[in-house]
A = this chain, B = another copy of it.
Amino acid sequence: MWQNLKWEINAKFKEKIHRHVSSFQVIILGFMLVILLGSLCLTLPLATRDGQGASFLDALFTSTSAVCVTGLVPHDTASYWSVFGQAVILFLIQIGGMGVVTVSVAVAIFSGRKISLMQRSTMRESISAPQVGGIVRMTEFILKTVFLVELLGAVAMAPVFVRDFGFLKGVWYAMFHSISAFCNAGFDLIGIRSPFSSLTTYASQPVINLTIMALIIVGGIGFLTWEDVKRNRLHFSRYRMQSKVILVTTAVLIAAPAVWFFFFEFSELPLGTRLLSSLFQSVTPRTAGFNTADLTKMTEAGQMLMIVLMLIGGSPGSTAGGMKTTTIAVIFSSARAVFRQKERAHFFQRRIPEEAIRTAGAILLMYLGLFLAGGMFISYEEGIPLLDALFETASAIGTVGLSLGVTPELGRISQLILIGLMFFGRVGGLTIIYAAVPSRCVSGSAFPQERITVG
């Protein structure tokens, strides 16, 4: 009987691994396909204002940036691309923001087809859902949330944009920026005033500031968390541990940097604008990518703080990228347990699985390694200051889109590096590795354990 049970567990485990690997590959291929199609559309002559079409590399860079909801751009969106080009970009953002898999499942649902088990498990991996069940319900919930929130955002901002740009353009702007903000994409059309200026001309406009911030936060907290909030309303104690961790970490990561920015930056601004700017620049690096302040005028310490926030990123199962709030929270909790000489890391009276701690460490290492290697290489290759290059790689890997202004001047190799980092940041490092590395069944657990001193 024991043999049988063991065999059964073994088979289930293998099947699970097998299913995962395939899901990972499907997710990656889906993103790649959409990026490639987007690139082709952007090379069309009617995609640019000058009627020449973009070079393939620029189109690929922009398409990757849109699908990976990053917002780094080699050309200013408003002044370089035609309305058709902008519409393509917006379409890519919407697909990328919801996730390629969610979109494909949604299409399947609407066309009345049956959702296969494969699609369910891929969807589960893709939105980091805790179980396979309820995928159809979850997809419907995501779609409803996305369109409802984006509609509200557009309605809130429309009056300001209509006042500034006339009715048609104003409505288009409200729609574009609402989608871009909710998807944490960071693309904007305000460069029409002065290229690459992002939202700096709206720095003291409360409606635009508050709406965009709200959209960013809602989008970056993740569908799973909203589903939890919807189900349990204001009964915080009934939320899943993950939802609690996400909400608390997000609040801390917005409040603390805002205080720093308020006291150590923006001292030349009037009080109201200073408050708005501190808050906005604290919300945007994880992983929205709009800015209302001139980032090059901030202190280097402030820029470094932004780099840290960019690397941390948003929450899992959301429109955001980066290492994720939960990753950093798990590492902190584990460290706290080590410091107190307790046995176990925990949050809200729930133990954190050992696997999550190890995975979080691996993710931290991957992000730090790629961030540093990319930044050092670009700094050396382009002969630009290291901090500017690191800011750029953190922005790419966190799918943020903020820049100290070096993106348009980069050479081919650096552009390709950033394309790779954006893809890595959106799809997720582990998804890529699990898709590429065949799972070997050598477990290493047969080896005897031996002490090793660290620190």
Contacts and interface: CB of A to CB of B under 8 A. Distances in A.
Given A335-B361, A341-B434, A387-B386, A301 B377 contact: yes
17 contacts: A130-B453, A241-B450, A242-B452, A301-B386, A304-B379, A316-B454, A317-B453, A326-B453, A331-B361, A335-B366, A338-B358, A339-B362, A342-B440, A354-B354, A356-B451, A357-B357, A364-B364
Nearest to A313: B455
Contacts of A376: 301, 304-305
Nearest to A130: B451
Contact of A351 (B327, B338, B447): B447
Contacts of A387: 386-387
A166 interface: no
Contacts of A345: 358, 444
B359 A455 contact: yes
A443 interface: yes
A130 B358 CA distance: 25
Interface residues of A, number: 84
Contact of A358 (B128, B357, B443, B449): B357
A73 interface: no
Contact of A455 (B360, B444, B445): B360
B439 A340 contact: yes
Interface string A425-455: 0001110011001011011110111111111
A247 interface: no
B437 A455 contact: no
A324 to B, nearest CB: 6
B452 A353 contact: yes
A332 interface: yes
Interface of A: 17, 128, 130, 240-242, 245, 264, 299-301, 303-305, 308, 316-317, 323-324, 326-327, 330-332, 334-335, 337-347, 349-354, 356-366, 372, 375-377, 379-380, 385-387, 428-430, 433-434, 437, 439-440, 442-445, 447-455
Contacts of A386: 300-301, 303-304, 387
B380 A301 contact: yes
Given A324-B455, A347-B452, A359-B454, 13 more contacts: A128-B453, A242-B450, A242-B451, A301-B386, A330-B452, A335-B366, A339-B362, A340-B437, A340-B440, A346-B444, A350-B448, A351-B445, A387-B387
A240 to B, nearest CB: 7
A452 B343 CA distance: 18
Given A358-B337, A365-B331, A445-B343, A379 B299 contact: yes
Contacts of A335: 361-362, 365-366
Give the number of copies in the complex: 2
Which of A308, A330, A379, A453 has its CB near the most chain B CB atoms (within 10 A)? A453
Shortest Cβ-Cβ A-B pairs, 7 listed: A300-B386, A335-B362, A338-B362, A350-B450, A363-B455, A344-B444, A301-B376
A335 to B, nearest CB: 4
Nearest to A385: B300
A332 B351 CA distance: 24
A343 B308 contact: no
Which of A128, A324, A447 has its CB near the most chain B CB atoms (within 10 A)? A447
A453 B316 CA distance: 7
B452 A326 contact: yes
Contacts of A240: 450
Contacts of A349: 447
Contacts of A361: 331, 334-335, 338, 357, 360-361, 364
Nearest to A352: B452
